[in-house]
Amino acid sequence: MNTVILYTILSLSGLGATAAIVLFFVAQKFRVKEDPRIDEVEEALPSANCGGCGFPGCRNFAEACVKSDDFEGLYCPVGGNETMRSVAKILGRDAVEQDPRVAVLRCNGSCDVRPQTTYYDGTATCVIASALYGGDTDCQYGCLGFGDCVEVCNFDALAMDLTTGLPVVNDVNCTACGACVKACPKDLFELRKRAKKDRKIYVACRNEDKGGIAKKSCEVACIGCSKCFKVCPFEAITMENNLAFIDADKCKLCRKCVPECPTNSILEIGFPPRKEKVEVATEEKKVKDPNGTVSEEIIKNKEE
C-alpha cells in the first residue's frame, strides 16, 4: 500500500515538473514583448482610471500613447498639460496642449421656477426615470435630480443642492473627466473652456420647445427669441431648434448678451457686480439774457 502511494506521488510530481518545463518554454516562445516605456508613461499618469481620455484606464491610455506616432486624439484631462508634457518627454515628442475645461450644467430649472406636475414613485436613478417618462415637470428636457452624475464623479466635484434640486459643480475639484457628461441621460452637462477666475457665460437650458410652451413649463427657459444672437459681436452664439448656444471657444466674455435675455436663461458666473447706470434728472429754469429776453434753460442734475 505504501509503495502504491509512493509511486503515485512520484508520478504526479514528475508529471507536474514536466508540465512546468513545457509551459515555461512555450511561454518564452510565444511571449509578447512589451515596450518598457509603457510602464514609464503609466507612472507619469495620475492613475485616476476615470475614462476621460476615452480609454478604459490609464494603462490602456499609456499603451496608445507609446504605439501612436503622435498625440492626435490623445489627451489626459485629469493630468492636463503638465502630465502630457511629462509623457511627451518620455517618448521624445512634442507635447500636446489644450485649454483646461470644466463641466457646467445646462439647466437652471430649480424647484421654484419649474412647477412639479407629476410624481415619480420608482427607482431613484436618472437613467431609469428618463426611460419611463419625461420628468416630474412639464419640461421634458430638464434635470431629473436623482444625482446619477454625483455618483459617478470620482473627484468630489459634484453635489446635489437640496434647495434647488439640481447638482452643483465645484470648479476647483472638477477635472473635466467627462464622467458626468456620459452619466446624464438628458445630456445636460457640457465641458466648456475654463476662463480666468473661472468666469463663464452660457445658456443654462436645453429646452427645444417653442417660446410659449418653454416659458410655461419653466420661467427661466430659453424661448429662442434670438436677442442674444443679434448683439453678440464675436459670432459666438448660434440658434438651433428654438435654442441659443454660446460657443465657449469663441466667447470673449463681453457680457452683452446677458441683459438681453428676457428670461434670464443666460448665466454669468464669476464676474464682479455690474455697475448701476447713473440716472440723469432734468429740470427747466427760466433765465434772462443780457438783451432782456426770457428763455428756458434745461439744468441737468446727476444723481450720485
User: pTM of this prediction?
Assistant: 0.76
Residue in this structure with the C-alpha cell 437650458, named with its chain if needed: 205
Mean pLDDT of 164-173: 95
Alpha-carbon distance 286 to 263, whole Å? 46
CB-based contact 107:219 (threshold 8 Å): no
Alpha-carbon distance 265 to 245, whole Å? 11
pLDDT category, 222, cuts 50, 70, 90?
A: very high
| pLDDT of residue 287 exceeding 60 | no
Mean pLDDT of 125-143: 93
**258-278 confidence digits (pLDDT tens):** 999 999 999 999 999 887 765
Mean pLDDT of 18-31: 79
Percent of the chain at pLDDT > 70 equals 88
CA dihedral 69, 72, 78, 82 (to 10 degrees): 70
Predicted local confidence at residue 278, as pLDDT: 56
Least-confidence region, from 6-15, 110-119, 195-204, 257-266: 6-15
Predicted local confidence at residue 15, as pLDDT: 86
Selection from 19-23, 78-82, 276-280 with the highest mean pLDDT: 78-82
Task: Return the CATH number of the domain spanning residue range 101-269.
Answer: 3.30.70.20
Predicted local confidence at residue 1, as pLDDT: 56
Domain parsing of the chain, residue ranges: 37-91, 101-269
| pLDDT of residue 245 exceeding 70 | yes
Task: Return the CATH number of the domain spanning residue range 37-91.
Answer: 1.10.15
**58-67 confidence digits (pLDDT tens):** 999 999 999 9
Of the candidates 262, 161, 275, 254, which has an alpha carbon nearest to the alpha carbon of residue 201? 254
Predicted local confidence at residue 298, as pLDDT: 45
**100-116 confidence digits (pLDDT tens):** 999 999 999 999 999 88
Least-confidence region, from 10-14, 69-73, 242-246: 10-14
Between 65 and 23, the higher pLDDT residue: 65
Predicted local confidence at residue 274, as pLDDT: 80
Predicted local confidence at residue 23, as pLDDT: 85
Residue in this structure with the C-alpha cell 448665466, named with its chain if needed: 267
Given the DSSP bridges, would you call strands 189-193 and 200-203 parallel, antiparallel or unpaired?
Answer: unpaired
Catalogue the E-assigned strands of the chain.
101-105, 158-161, 166-169, 189-193, 200-203, 237-240, 243-246, 266-269, 280-288, 294-302
